[in-house]
Structure 1
Amino acid sequence: MTRHPDICPNSDLVIFDCSGVLVDRELIACRTDAACLTEIGISISAEEIMDRYLGLSTTAMFADLEIRYGRKLPADLGDTLRHRTAAAFRSELKATAGIEAALDMLACKACVASSNGPARLRHSLSVSACFAAWIRTFSVRRRFRAAIRRRIWSCSPPAAWVQRRKRAW
């Protein structure tokens, strides 16, 4: 594939979100949620879960479901969802259509950012060989937890981290 310098002419780096951009996780997770909820008597579609709860925590989703349906959800529902979603990801997760060709055309460096933990991110990136360079994950949560809590930096990582990563590129 030919690199196209006009794709990111004024950028040295493009940062991609993982879920929904590099890999298609959302629909799989919403289908799994809908199936588990249907099993306990809450009839809801994957589309409704996507429209109503995508981007919210499981805790927030559960709280809303309990209010809407007027009943307490099973205590082990969170664990059940986690296990079933992980199994679905192992069997169904794949790179988003067209992303491999798009990455090949970039003339600048690229990296991935995600709010997922390192293990989940590594698994997501393992679905395509084109993500192999990103498998070595760096956890901002672990290294800069105090800085994040104080909101010292919002868009740019600390200069020391940038220097270390430049050597790795």
Structure 2
Amino acid sequence: MMFFLTALTVLAIDQATKIAVRLHMKVGNSVPVWDEVLQFTRYENSGIARGMLQGYGRLSVPIAVFVTVMILYYRKKGLLNSSAQQIGAALLVGGALGNAIDRLLYNQVTDFIAFTFMDGILNVADYAIQFGILLIIAGMLREEWRSRKQARSKEH
């Protein structure tokens, strides 16, 4: 249940923030949020990650659907065991579906989060995807570390 609630929360926050940006900002406009750290700058990205392949963003929609289906399959098979993997997978699904909805409805994704110390302008879905992948990897590494530790303790 927590998996679906997390994915839906990410999806809702992503879509709500993008709607607010579309309603209140023109493309290219910037609003300082935190001096010299964060600003909101509206950018419409018709490409994929970091603006690559402009005009071909819709090609990533089947990938988002495939990733979602695979995560649901892995969950059903019990292959996402740790809470880090479960939360990471939910973040990944919510983010992937959030950007896929934009690409289907608008043929582009609204980006607006611009940290001054990072390159690029992203959105909530992008950060959810990135953090989700990190959590999945961290969960996998932790499981591997635990299984190796158990194997060593059985040897002694």
TM-score class, shorter-chain normalisation, is under 0.3
Length-normalised TM-score, structure 1 = 0.22
More helix, by proportion: 2
Structure holding more strand per residue: 2
Larger Rg: 1
TM-score, scaled relative to structure 2: 0.23
